[in-house]
Amino acid sequence: MSSEFGEVIPVHADVDPVPSATVGRRERGKTLKQTRIFGAAADLFEEHGYAAVTTQQIADRADVSIGTLFRYAATKAELLLMVYNEVFAAAVAEGEAVSATLDEPIERVLALVTPVLEAGHVASENTVAYQRDLLFGPADEQFRSKGLAIVLRLETLIARGLDPALRSDADLTDSPAMAAARAVFAVVHMEIAHPVGAPRPAATPSDSLREQVALIVTGYLTRHPSGPHN
- The CATH number that applies at residue 60 is 1.10.10.60
Q: Are both 100 and 41 inside the same structural domain? A: no
- pLDDT score for 82: 92
- pLDDT score for 69: 94
- pLDDT score for 198: 54
Q: Are both 109 and 48 inside the same structural domain? A: no
Tell me, rounded to whole angstroms, the distance of Cα 125 from its chain centroid.
16
Q: Are both 139 and 56 inside the same structural domain? A: no
Q: Are both 47 and 91 inside the same structural domain? A: no
Q: Are both 126 and 169 inside the same structural domain? A: yes
Q: Are both 108 and 197 inside the same structural domain? A: yes
pLDDT per residue as tens, the chain (230 positions): 333 333 333 333 444 455 555 657 777 878 899 999 999 999 999 999 999 999 999 999 999 999 999 999 989 999 999 999 999 999 999 999 999 999 999 999 999 999 998 888 777 788 889 998 988 888 888 899 999 999 999 999 999 998 877 777 778 888 899 999 999 999 998 888 765 555 555 555 678 888 999 999 999 999 887 655 44
Q: Are both 136 and 28 inside the same structural domain? A: no
- pLDDT score for 6: 37
State how far the Cα of 10 lies from the Cα of 33, in Å rounded to an integer.
Answer: 23
State how far the Cα of 59 lies from the Cα of 41, in Å rounded to an integer.
Answer: 9
Considering its fold, how many domains does the chain have in total?
A: 2
Q: Are both 25 and 102 inside the same structural domain? A: no
- pLDDT score for 201: 52
10 inside domain: no
| Burial status of residue 16 (CB atoms within 10 A of its CB: 0-12, 13-18, 19 or more) | exposed
3 inside domain: no
Q: Give the sign of the dihedral formed by CA 134, CA 140, CA 141, CA 147.
A: positive
Q: Are both 146 and 167 inside the same structural domain? A: yes
DSSP string, the chain: -EETTEEPPPPPTTSPPPPHHHHHHHHHHHHHHHHHHHHHHHHHHHHH-GGG--HHHHHHHHT--HHHHHHH-SSHHHHHHHHHHHHHHHHHHHHHHHHTT--SHHHHHHHHHHHHHHHHHHSHHHHHHHHHHHHHS-TT-TTHHHHHHHHHHHHHHHHHHH-TTS-TT---TTSHHHHHHHHHHHHHHHHHHTTTTSPP--SSPPHHHHHHHHHHHHHHHHH-TT----
Q: Are both 65 and 149 inside the same structural domain? A: no
Look at residues 145, 120, 149 and name the one whose alpha carbon lies nearest to residue 133: 145
Q: Are both 111 and 64 inside the same structural domain? A: no
Domain range for 83: 75-230
